[in-house]
A and B are shown apart, each in its own frame.
Chain A
C-alpha cells in the first residue's frame, strides 16, 4: 500500500433525505474526508444491491448506502423495501467472505448534516485501517 493511498468510497444516496443532509453538511461547513463520490438516486428504493458489486469492480474500497429514516421516506415505503434487499445482500456478501465493514448502510435525514460528515469520516478512517480492497480488485489479475 502506497503511503498516500486514499480509499475510494462510492456513496449511493436518496435525493430527499441524505442528499439534502450532505448539502446541509456543506452549508454548515462540516469538513469531511474528500474520498467519497456521491451518486444520487431518487429514493433508497431505487438502489440495486448489485450497484455494490459494480462499484467494487470499478475499484471502490467501500460502498456507503444511505436513505431516509424509517417513516421519513418521501415515497412512504421505498426505504422499507430497500432495507429488505440490503438484509439479503449483507448476508450474501458475508457468506462470500466480503467484509461487511466495506458495505455500510445508514439512515441520514435532511437535518443530519453533522451525522453525514461524521459518517463519512468514520467510514473513511475504517477503510484506511482495512486498506484497499485488493482481494476484489485483483480477482482477475491473480489468474494471469
Chain B
C-alpha cells in the first residue's frame, strides 16, 4: 500500500499569499494513499528538509509530494533529502504551486483549488512511480583521436597530459595535416613548421600516445565510455618497427611521381615520406607506382634497406582498440582550381590555389622558397589574388564563408612582397573579414605598409594573352571594369568537408550538415559535442576555422574527454527507456525515431542458440530519456521510466475529479 506524505510549502508569503496552504494540506490529507500532510513556511530550508526526512522515517512513507516551487529549482534538493532518509529519490515528486500557481494567479480560492488539483495529480503519479536507480556505466580510460592535423595533435597531447592513453589515427602516412604544408602563419608570420613540428615530435615521444598513421576507421561499436573501434592499418609495405627512417630507400628509388604534399608542384619517389619532418619518419610504398608491386621489377629499396624493413607482401591489417571517448578532428580539403574554369582553373598552369602558393613560397617547398610560376619558372612580377572562390556563392558552389581566406590572402600578399619587393599584387574581394586578435591590424598592414592593392569586386574571367594572364573584374567602389595583366593568379578556393567524412560520421552515428561538415550537439552550448555521447568534435571537421580556433577547440574536447574519463564509472539519471520483450514485435519504429541511436534489435534465442525472434533493446548508456520512442510504439512495448503511460495517465485521471 502506498504511504504518501504531502508537504505544502508557504515559501514565506510567495505561496501563502495566494494559496490557503493549511486548507491545501488538510484536503491533501484526505486523498487516498496519503498518510501524512503538513504545511511549512520554507520547505527548502534546513528545518524544512529535516521535517521531510523525519516524516519519511516516522511515517514509513513510500512516496512524497512536495508542493512548492518549480522542480527546476529544488527537485534535486528534495530528492537528495528523500534519499538521505532512505527513500528512493524518484519516489518524490514536486507539485509546482509557486511559478505555475501562486505567482500567476490573484484569487486565493482559485489558487487553493488549483494547488489541491496539482497535489492530487502528483499523489496519483507517485502512487504509480517505481523506484529507479541511477545508471552506472564503466568507462574505458583510453581515448581515440581521429585525424592527425593540428587539432588532433593538440587533443592527443592534452588528453595524454591528463594521464589518459590516446590512439591517434591518421589517414595519411604522416601526422601534421594541412598546417604542415603552410609557409608562414597569420597574424604573426611565424613559420608554420617551426611551431608545428615540435608538437609533432612531442606526440611521437609521448609514451601515452600511440600514432596509427596511414590508417582509417573501419567500424565503431559500443557507446559512451565503452567504444570498440576497428582500425584498418593500410598496407605500407614497410615494417615501421624495423625501419629506422634512414632514407636510403627513397634516395635510391628510381620512380618519380607527383607529390600530393607539394600540391602537385613537386615530385616524390614511389617509396617516400611526404615531407622531411614527417612523423612517424617511416616511408611507405605507393603501390600504384612502385615498379616491384606493379611490374615485379626493380626491388631496389628492399636490396638497399639496411634493416630488412621492406615487405612487398604487406596487406591491410585490422586492429581493434577499446576506448571510452572519441575526438573527431578530420579537418578539411581545399577546392581544386579545376572547379573554376571561368578563372582559368585547370586550363592555365599559372592559376593556382592558395595552398599551392604556400608551397611555392615555402623554404622547404619544391623550389626551396624561390618563387617561380609553375608554367615556365618565371618570377611573377604581378600577382592577382581572388577571394571567395567557391565560398559565399550559393548559386554555384557553397553558401558559407570559408573564414580563413581573408587572413591568409593578406598574409600571402606580404609573403609575395617580401620575395618580390617591387612586385605588384592585387586582391579582389567582397568583404574583408578580420575578426580575430590582431587580425584587423594585420590586414591593414598588408594594405597600408606592404603594398597590397585591394579591389572590391568579383572577377568575371581569367584568360591568357600571350605569356600573360589577364584578370577581368569589376571594381564596385569606383563602379568600373578592371583588367589586370599578371603572371600568376591565386584563387582562395573554399574549404570543403574532406572525402569520406559522411561514411565516418555514419560509422560513429553522428550527424553532418548539408555541406558535409559535422554537426555540433548544440550550436551555442555544446559546440564541440556531437549528438552521440562520448564523441567530441574539433577544428575544421565542424566548419572552416583558423589555427587558433582549431587548437582551442581541440583543448576543449580534450577537457571533455578527461572529465568523462576521470571516474571509474559514469552515473546517469535513471530516466531511460525500457522494453517489454514479451510484447515487442520488432517493428523498429522506436529505432527509427530515436535521435540518439540508443535502440537496436536484439535476437531472442532458444537454448540451442537458434534465433526465435527479435526485440528492441535499449542501451541505457546512450538513452537520454526523451521518450520519443514511446508514442511511436503501437503495442507500448517500449516505455520511459519515470514517465510511463501509467504515471501520466494517473495525472490525467486525477483531473476527472476536478
Residues B656 and A32 in contact, CB atoms below 8 Å apart: no
Q: Does A100 contact B (CB under 8 A)?
A: no
Tell which of B103, B118, B643, B658 touches A26, judged by Cβ atoms closer than 8 Å. Answer: B103
Note all chain A residues with C-beta closer than 8 A to B71.
40
Residues B655 and A60 in contact, CB atoms below 8 Å apart: yes
Residues A75 and B70 in contact, CB atoms below 8 Å apart: no
Tell which of A10, A24, A43, A55 touches B628, judged by Cβ atoms closer than 8 Å. Answer: A43
Q: From known contacts A37-B121, A59-B656, infer whether A45 and B99 are also in contact, taking CB-CB under 8 Å.
A: no
Q: How many B residues touch A, CB cutoff 8 Å? A: 45
- CA gap between A22 and B101 in the complex, in Å: 10
Residues A34 and B105 in contact, CB atoms below 8 Å apart: yes
Residues B626 and A75 in contact, CB atoms below 8 Å apart: yes
Tell which of A26, A31, A42, A77 touches B99, judged by Cβ atoms closer than 8 Å. Answer: A26
Binary A-proximity of B604-646 (CB < 8 A = 1, otherwise 0): 0000000000000000000011111011100000001001010
Q: Separation in Å of the A140 CB from the closest CB of chain B?
A: 14
Note all chain A residues with C-beta closer than 8 A to B653.
54, 58
Note all chain B residues with C-beta closer than 8 A to A101.
none
- CA gap between A106 and B648 in the complex, in Å: 20
- In chain A, residues 41-95, which have Cβ atoms closer than 8 Å to a Cβ of chain B? 41-43, 45-49, 51, 54-55, 58-60, 74-78, 81-82, 85
Q: Does B107 contact A (CB under 8 A)?
A: yes
Q: Does B284 contact A (CB under 8 A)?
A: no
Q: Does A102 contact B (CB under 8 A)?
A: no
Q: Does A126 contact B (CB under 8 A)?
A: no
Residues B628 and A45 in contact, CB atoms below 8 Å apart: yes
Residues A77 and B121 in contact, CB atoms below 8 Å apart: no
Residues B627 and A45 in contact, CB atoms below 8 Å apart: yes
In this complex, what residue of A is CB-closest to B93? A40
Residues A39 and B596 in contact, CB atoms below 8 Å apart: no
Q: From known contacts A27-B99, A41-B643, A42-B643, infer whether A78 and B104 are also in contact, taking CB-CB under 8 Å.
A: no
Q: Separation in Å of the A129 CB from the closest CB of chain B?
A: 20
Q: Does A29 contact B (CB under 8 A)?
A: yes
Residues A45 and B655 in contact, CB atoms below 8 Å apart: no
In this complex, what residue of B is CB-closest to A110? B72
Residues A37 and B117 in contact, CB atoms below 8 Å apart: yes
Note all chain B residues with C-beta closer than 8 A to A55.
652, 655
- CA gap between A43 and B631 in the complex, in Å: 11
- CA gap between A133 and B489 in the complex, in Å: 75
Q: Does B42 contact A (CB under 8 A)?
A: no
The bracket for how many chain A residues form the interface is 35 or more
Q: Separation in Å of the A39 CB from the closest CB of chain B?
A: 5
Q: Separation in Å of the A88 CB from the closest CB of chain B?
A: 11
In this complex, what residue of B is CB-closest to A52? B652
Q: Separation in Å of the A109 CB from the closest CB of chain B?
A: 14
- CA gap between A40 and B118 in the complex, in Å: 12
Tell which of A31, A46, A85 touches B104, judged by Cβ atoms closer than 8 Å. Answer: A31
Interface centre among A19, A26, A85 (most CB of B within 10 A): A26
- CA gap between A54 and B98 in the complex, in Å: 27
Residues B655 and A8 in contact, CB atoms below 8 Å apart: yes
In this complex, what residue of B is CB-closest to A77? B595
- CA gap between A42 and B627 in the complex, in Å: 7
Q: From known contacts A27-B103, A46-B643, A77-B595, infer whether A39 and B652 are also in contact, taking CB-CB under 8 Å.
A: yes
Binary B-proximity of A13-29 (CB < 8 A = 1, otherwise 0): 00000011011111101
In this complex, what residue of A is CB-closest to B111? A34
- In chain B, residues 61-79, which have Cβ atoms closer than 8 Å to a Cβ of chain A? 70-72
In this complex, what residue of A is CB-closest to B653? A58
Note all chain A residues with C-beta closer than 8 A to B106.
31
Q: From known contacts A27-B103, A55-B652, A76-B531, infer whether A43 and B96 are also in contact, taking CB-CB under 8 Å.
A: no
Binary A-proximity of B92-123 (CB < 8 A = 1, otherwise 0): 00001011110111110011011001100100
Note all chain B residues with C-beta closer than 8 A to A130.
none
Residues A46 and B103 in contact, CB atoms below 8 Å apart: no
Tell which of A48, A49, A54, A117 touches B630, judged by Cβ atoms closer than 8 Å. Answer: A48
In this complex, what residue of A is CB-closest to B70? A23
In this complex, what residue of B is CB-closest to A8? B658
Binary A-proximity of B336-377 (CB < 8 A = 1, otherwise 0): 000000000000000000000000000000000000000000
Note all chain A residues with C-beta closer than 8 A to B105.
31-32, 34
Note all chain A residues with C-beta closer than 8 A to B655.
8, 10, 37, 55, 58-60
Q: From known contacts A31-B106, A42-B640, infer whether A78 and B652 are also in contact, taking CB-CB under 8 Å.
A: no
Residues B651 and A77 in contact, CB atoms below 8 Å apart: no
Residues B96 and A42 in contact, CB atoms below 8 Å apart: no
- CA gap between A74 and B72 in the complex, in Å: 15
Tell which of A10, A29, A32, A46 touches B631, judged by Cβ atoms closer than 8 Å. Answer: A46
Residues B627 and A46 in contact, CB atoms below 8 Å apart: yes
Interface centre among B104, B107, B625, B632 (most CB of A within 10 A): B104
Note all chain A residues with C-beta closer than 8 A to B645.
48
Residues B114 and A34 in contact, CB atoms below 8 Å apart: yes
- CA gap between A23 and B98 in the complex, in Å: 9
In this complex, what residue of B is CB-closest to A120? B104
Q: Does B275 contact A (CB under 8 A)?
A: no
Tell which of B99, B624, B628 touches A81, judged by Cβ atoms closer than 8 Å. Answer: B628
Tell which of B114, B624, B656 touches A75, judged by Cβ atoms closer than 8 Å. Answer: B624
Interface centre among B110, B595, B630 (most CB of A within 10 A): B595
Q: Does B649 contact A (CB under 8 A)?
A: yes
Note all chain A residues with C-beta closer than 8 A to B658.
8, 37, 59
Q: Does B27 contact A (CB under 8 A)?
A: no
In this complex, what residue of A is CB-closest to B99? A26
Note all chain B residues with C-beta closer than 8 A to A23.
70, 72, 96, 99-100
- CA gap between A48 and B325 in the complex, in Å: 35
Note all chain A residues with C-beta closer than 8 A to B652.
10, 39, 51, 54-55, 58
- CA gap between A10 and B652 in the complex, in Å: 8
Q: Separation in Å of the B639 CB from the closest CB of chain A?
A: 10
Residues A42 and B631 in contact, CB atoms below 8 Å apart: no
Residues B595 and A75 in contact, CB atoms below 8 Å apart: yes
Q: 17 A–B contact pairs at CB < 8 A? A: A8-B655, A26-B98, A26-B100, A27-B103, A32-B104, A37-B658, A39-B121, A39-B648, A42-B575, A42-B625, A46-B626, A46-B627, A51-B652, A58-B656, A75-B626, A77-B593, A78-B595
Beyond A43-B627, A75-B628, 15 additional contacts (C-beta under 8 Å) are A22-B99, A27-B99, A29-B103, A38-B100, A45-B593, A46-B640, A46-B643, A58-B655, A59-B655, A75-B596, A76-B595, A78-B628, A82-B628, A82-B631, A117-B104
Q: State the B residues within 8 Å of A (CB).
A: 70-72, 96, 98-101, 103-107, 110-111, 113-114, 117-118, 121, 521, 531, 575, 593, 595-596, 624-628, 630-632, 640, 643, 645, 648-649, 651-653, 655-656, 658
7 smallest A-B Cβ distances: which pairs?
A: A26-B99, A46-B627, A45-B628, A75-B626, A26-B103, A48-B631, A58-B656
